[in-house]
Amino acid sequence: MEDQQNLEAIMGLIMYGGNAKSDAMEAIAAAKKGDFDLAEQKIRDAEASLVEAHHSQTQMLTQEAQGNHMQVTLLTVHSQDHLMTSIAFTDLAKEIIDLYRRTYVE
């Protein structure tokens, strides 16, 4: 994988991971206000961003599996960390929304 393709894949992880985390945070804020329709939409948006991030990650992994080894840089590590944090945050956001939903139902 050439350097430009590496950079595009890495930046895709960071960008889509960041979008997912932002949407998940907005979902929590909506649930806190009792707007569960918006919360669910924001979670769907977060999940869509995570799918796009996974496409970038798969591109990198495919190249690696084909023997096109890339140099691991701090930016590469950061992008993977950003993605994993966003996945965990989105999963936790779903749980927090469920807790808020229970509070509003009772």
Beta carbons of 90 and 47 less than 8 angstroms apart? yes
Cα separation of 83 and 14, whole Å?
7
Active-site annotation, residues: 78
Residues 6+ positions from 76 with CB-CB distance below 8 Å: 6, 10, 70
Smallest Cα–Cα separation from 86: which of 51, 36, 37? 51
* Tokens representing residue 69 in the block: 């080894």
